[in-house]
Amino acid sequence: MTATRAVTFDFWNTLMWEEPGSLKAQRLAVWGEALGERVDAPQLERAHDAAHLSYVEAWTAGRQFRVEEAVEVMLAQLGGERAADWRDVLVAGFDEGGRRAAIHPSDGVGACLRALVAAGVRLGIVCDIGLTPSPVVRELLARHDLLGCFDGWSFSDEVGHYKPARAIFEHALARLGGVEPRHAAHVGDRLRTDVGGALAIGMTAVRYNAVYEDAAIGTAEADFVTADLAELPALLGVPEPSLDP
C-alpha cells in the first residue's frame, strides 16, 4: 500500500447518522408552527414526500437537485398561487428541520479523526447533499467539535456534482493540496457512490457499514470494509503519532 496522505469522508451514515424519520418529522413541525391552520397537515406531508421522491430520482440519475427545487415541487402539490407566499417558509423549514433533527456522530468518529490529524493526514468531506443544505451540515459538525478536523470539504450543492462523478473527488483532492488519488482514501457507506467513485479515480475505498449496510448488486466492493472507525488508521497503514518530545 502506498502512503496515505489524505482521507475524505462521506457525511451521512459515516461521520454522522440520523435517527430514522427525524428530519422529516422536524421539517413538518417547523412548517406546522409557521403555517398553522392555513395548511392541511396530511397534504403538507404528501408534498414533502413528493419532493423527497423527486430528489431521490435526480440523485440516482446524477442530476443536481437543490432545496429550491424541492420547494417548487411542494408548492405545486399545495396549490399553486395560493401557496406561493409560503416559499420562504418552506425553504426555512428544510434548514431549521436539519438543525432540530436527531443527528448523532458515529461511534468513535472524533477519536478516529484526531488520530489521523495527529499523524499528519489531511482530511476532507465528500458529501451528496439532499434536502439538508451544506451550511446546516457544517453546523451539525461544528456542534460536535468535528468541523475543525477537516482541511476542506466538497458538498454537491456547492460543487455541482453528486458522487460517483469524478469531478467531486477531484475537487476534494485539490482542496487538500493536490494529493494524488493513489495517496488518498475515501470512506463512505454506499457502494455505487462512495466505493464506485473512489475506485474509479484511483483512491483506496473503505466502506463503513456500522450504520447502513448497502446491499447493492453488481457493484465493486471496497478495498476495506469496517464497522469500527477505530480500525481505520491501521487499515490505511497510517502510523501512530510519535510520543517523543
Task: Give me the residue spans of the domains in the chain.
Answer: 6-17+104-235, 22-100
Regarding pTM above 0.95, the answer is: no
CATH fold of 6-17+104-235:
Rossmann fold (3.40.50)
pLDDT at 2: 60
Rounded to whole angstroms, how far apart are CA atoms 6 and 126? 12
- Split the chain (245 residues) into runs of 10 and give each run's mean pLDDT: 88 98 98 90 95 97 95 89 81 97 97 95 97 97 97 96 97 97 97 97 98 91 96 90 51
The Cβ-side half-sphere exposure at 95, using a 13 Å CA radius, reads 8
Rounded to whole angstroms, how far apart are CA atoms 41 and 5? 50
User: Do the strands 184-188 and 6-9 form a parallel or antiparallel pair, or are they unpaired?
Assistant: parallel
Does residue 164 have a cis peptide bond before it, meaning omega lies within 30 degrees of 0?
yes
Rounded to whole angstroms, how far apart are CA atoms 187 and 3? 16
pLDDT at 194: 98
